[in-house]
Amino acid sequence: MAKTNDVTFQRGEYQSCLYAWDTVDAVMSQQAIKEAETKFLPMPMPKDTSEANKARYRQYLARAVLWGATERTLSSLVGAAFQKVPTLTVPSAIDYVGSDIDGSGLSIYQQSQLVLSDVMKRARHALLVDYPQTQRPASQADLRSGRIRATVASISARRVVNWRTRRVGAEYKLDLVVIFEDHEEETEDGFGVETIPQYRVLRLTDEGYTQEVWRKREDKDEWFLFTQPFFILDGKGSKWDEIPLTFVGSVNNDPSPDKSPMLSMAEKEIAHYQVGADCRHSAYMTGQAQPVITGLTEKWRDHMEKQGIYFGSNAPLLLPENATADLLQTQGNTQAEREREYIEKMINSLGARLVQPGGAVKTATEAQDDNEQEHSVLSLAVSNVSEAYVKCLEWIKRFMNVEGDAIYEINQDYTRKQLDPQMLTAAALWWDKGQWPLSDMRNWQRKTGLVDPEKTDEQIDEELSANPPGLNLGDA
């Protein structure tokens, strides 16, 4: 049972996700998985606690190499989603989100890439719309100068340790969110930075939405209320009736964590990492010839040990009469190598084929079928990220007290459209015979890259009217 006022309490669903998050995070970095040591690469002789065995394990660990298929696949999936610039439509008063959505110079495009990557890795992320504390509603001068503006904080799933919902009328709303933070403060000499752990608590009370901060006492192992709860106000100076935080998941955006889309691939890659370590260890052990000398007397043995034994064409080996010397060479163990190849095939079937071309030539239809499952998972995650940002933009509008449409849509068409002469000829005939609506033709042109995907129909019409047919070479 949690202690009274235990701000460090971690929700059960949070704790159950740690295995998946640790596993996926480990395969994203060679350094991370090696720093984990025995967590992902067990010690071959764990009961032997001698220094010699520990030294052997360090050598075993050093020879292990992470394949990196999961990380490359993730980069490919995010790259596919952002191969076209997302659509952003916002009122001019908040168009700053296109260049700086978080107050540190990160654009909505860059931030959403990081969010999508996190959703694909951990199936969970959080976006919090925040606003500076003010004693009065922001004036138009404040808004125009940018001194006061709403921002969107991108929060890793690991940071949101606790949450709770309650029913308000006909819907469920978040009424508690606890976020673990690292607060940075300048050291006394003005050069260093001191990191102070703290918890930010977001609450929805009967009076409105509040924030408070908890920190740890320096002399005691306990947490105390560092800042008293304070109300967050919107652009009109009114209290909020909801917490402007949304979760982003791989299945949906409700508070319940989803299953990581990359977990199965990550588990296979860890198995590949372990078997690969065995392969390299086996190659090291069996790849070195073992010298064997027979027929030595104790005197010759002691003499040779004192002088040293050298093998090679430039080091003649002098032996007594009837003595022999030989090299033992064992055959390599191919079982571990076969196992590694089998795991690689499983990883390919889970999505690594997106970034690692296979040996067989495939038609466009076959390639599309192979990637359909991965793209469906990606499409769902992309849709969730887009919806989360639309919600955040609506909250920003309320904070900034502005009206107008707010749209953010990330591309979900990941298939490269191929153009060929037959298709172009057919398109011209359909248009010439009046069998193709203008709007459909324009959409096709955008998707195939014949025209700039960002241009509207009105912009295309305006440019066409300004440019007469032909090369316009004049009378010369």
- The proportion of the chain whose per-residue pLDDT surpasses 70, expressed as a percent, equals 80
Q: What is the Cα–Cα distance from 33 to 127, expressed in whole angstroms?
A: 28
Q: Print the SS3 string covering the chain.
A: CCCCCCCCCCCHHHHHHHHHHHHHHHCCCHHHHHHCHHHCCCCCCCCCCCHHHHHHHHHHHHHCCCCCHHHHHHHHHHHHHCCCCCEEECCHHHHHHHCCCCCCCCCHHHHHHHHHHHHHHHCEEEEEEECCCCCCCCCHHHHHHCCCCCEEEEEEHHHEEEEEEEEECCEEEEEEEEEEEEEEEECCCCCCEEEEEEEEEEEECCCCEEEEEEEECCCCCCEEEEEEEEECECCCCCECCCCCEEEEECCCCCCCCCCCCCHHHHHHHHHHHHHHHHHHHHHHHHCCCEEEEECCCHHHHHHHHHHCCCCCCCCCCCCCCCCEEEEECCCCCCHHHHHHHHHHHHHHHCCHHHCCCCCCCCCHHHHHHHCHHHHHHHHHHHHHHHHHHHHHHHHHHHHHCCCCCCEEECCCCCCCCCCCHHHHHHHHHHHHCCCCCHHHHHHHHHHHCCCCCCCCHHHHHHHHHHCCCCCCCCCC
pLDDT band at 455 (very low <50, low <70, confident <90, very high): confident
pLDDT at 352: 40
Q: Which of 100-114, 139-153, 328-342, 373-387 has the lowest mean pLDDT?
A: 328-342
Q: Please report where in the chains the tokens 């690292």 appear, as a residue.
A: 182
Query: Comparing C-alpha atoms, which of 440, 379, 439 is closest to residue 410?
Result: 379
Q: Distance between CA 229 and CA 206 in Å, rounded?
A: 14
Largest CA distance in the chain: 109
| Residue whose pair of structure tokens reads 């997302």 in the numeric block | 86
- Maximum average pLDDT range among 315-319, 330-334, 447-451: 315-319
pLDDT value at position 112?
97
Average pLDDT of 230-239?
A: 88
Report the mean per-residue pLDDT for the chain.
83
- Separation in Å, CA 102 to CA 119, 200, 307, 402: 19, 18, 71, 19
Higher pLDDT, 380 or 454: 380
Is the pLDDT reported for residue 231 higher than 50? yes
pLDDT at 329 > cutoff 80: no
Q: Which pLDDT score is estimated for 98?
A: 95
R_g over Cα of the chain: 32
Residue 417 pLDDT > 70, yes or no? no
Q: How far is Cα 442 from Cα 432, in angstroms, rounded to an integer?
A: 15
Quick one: tokens of 153?
């904080």
Distance, in Å, from the CA atom of 100 to the CA atom of 306, rounded to the nearest integer, reads 73
